[in-house]
């Protein structure tokens, strides 16, 4: 009996030591951050510089690089993206195309922004860079170029990886830059649904349907990250980018986002000409 108790205690202590020694992030608590998209001024910061798992917010960077290659003429929206066995094996959320099947790049963009399809993210990464690993390296390099110094990518979808990390601040910067650098392409984030092969896919971003002035952008969730959201809102001649990470549910995340947006709108400045150079980020 005593031996059983000692064994139980030993196993319990081992699990505690193992848990705290592995490269993981603590259980999610809300992290939130908000920027004035016109001036670059910080409007709200609650643990915005704490490291988090991005989940499908990762796909905003995937889309950024797609838009960049489109602008540079390296790819066309009519291009066919072929699904490898690796891409087709990705878990949901997904479109479910089999290995060898294809999707136009135009539909791939919609599937990433609206459906948040993991299989499409991998297929596009392989299409652009040969392997998803190579594409993830490019993603991280672009993050550094944009000033996202606490962000590291390991895949194109946001599926969990202990080494794929970011902050609410970095995600706000990404949201700001994709809007500024690709204003026309970024309109895809405001699209509420798209049809592919006869099936209608609706956006996971419920604020598009409920919060006035919402123009996107992206939701995200894994068990390790909690519920994440980047929002872009234009109202009262103001432009706001807000990020909430680590929600315990989509409902509580959305509720917290509404509070952050309401606060940010109250204190944001009225619209002035957007600077051509990168906005100065005033940290308070």
Catalytic residues: 56, 59, 116
**Distance separating alpha carbons of residues 271 and 113, to the nearest angstrom:** 27
Cα dihedral sign, 258-260-263-268: negative
Residue 257 near residue 242, CB atoms below 8 Å: yes
**Distance separating alpha carbons of residues 82 and 127, to the nearest angstrom:** 7
Cα dihedral sign, 111-29-159-146: positive
Task: List the structure tokens of 171.
Answer: 């995600």
Angle 37-108-211 from CA coordinates, rounded to 5°: 40
CA atoms within 13 A on the CB side of 173: 23
Phi/psi region, residue 197 (left: phi>0; alpha: psi -120 to 50; beta: rest), is left
Residue 147 near residue 176, CB atoms below 8 Å: no
Beta bridge partners of 82: 102
Block residue for tokens 């995200």: 220
Burial class (CB in 10 A: 0-12, 13-18, 19+), 159: middle
Alpha carbon separation from 210 to 213, 258, 281 (Å, rounded): 9, 10, 30
DSSP secondary structure code for residue 266 in this structure: H
**Distance separating alpha carbons of residues 133 and 194, to the nearest angstrom:** 29
């Amino acid at each position: 009996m005593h031996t059983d108790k000692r064994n139980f205690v030993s196993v319990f202590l081992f699990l505690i030591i193992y848990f705290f020694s592995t490269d993981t992030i603590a259980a999610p608590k809300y992290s939130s951050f908000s920027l004035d998209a016109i001036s670059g001024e910080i409007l709200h910061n609650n643990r915005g510089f704490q490291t988090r798992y991005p989940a499908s917010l990762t796909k905003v960077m995937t889309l950024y690089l797609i838009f960049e290659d489109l602008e540079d003429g390296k790819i066309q929206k009519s291009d066919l993206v072929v699904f490898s066995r690796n891409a087709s094996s990705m878990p949901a959320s997904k479109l479910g195309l089999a290995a060898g099947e294809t999707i136009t790049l135009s539909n791939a963009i919609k599937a990433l922004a609206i459906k948040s399809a993991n299989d499409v993210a991998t297929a596009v990464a392989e299409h652009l860079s040969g392997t998803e690993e190579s594409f993830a390296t490019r993603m991280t390099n672009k993050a550094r170029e944009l000033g996202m110094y606490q962000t590291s990518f390991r895949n194109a979808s946001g599926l969990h990886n202990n080494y794929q990390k970011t902050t609410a601040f970095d995600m706000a910067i990404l949201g700001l830059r994709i809007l500024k650098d690709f204003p026309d392409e970024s309109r895809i984030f405001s699209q509420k649904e798209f049809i592919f092969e006869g099936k209608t896919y609706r956006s996971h971003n419920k604020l598009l349907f409920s919060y006035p002035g919402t123009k996107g952008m992206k939701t995200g969730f894994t068990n390790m990250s909690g519920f994440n959201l980047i929002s872009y809102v234009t109202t009262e001649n103001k432009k706001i980018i807000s990020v909430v990470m680590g929600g315990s549910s989509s409902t509580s995340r959305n509720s917290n986002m509404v509070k952050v947006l309401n606060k940010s709108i109250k204190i944001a400045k009225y619209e002035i000409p957007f600077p051509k150079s990168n906005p100065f980020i005033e940290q308070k």
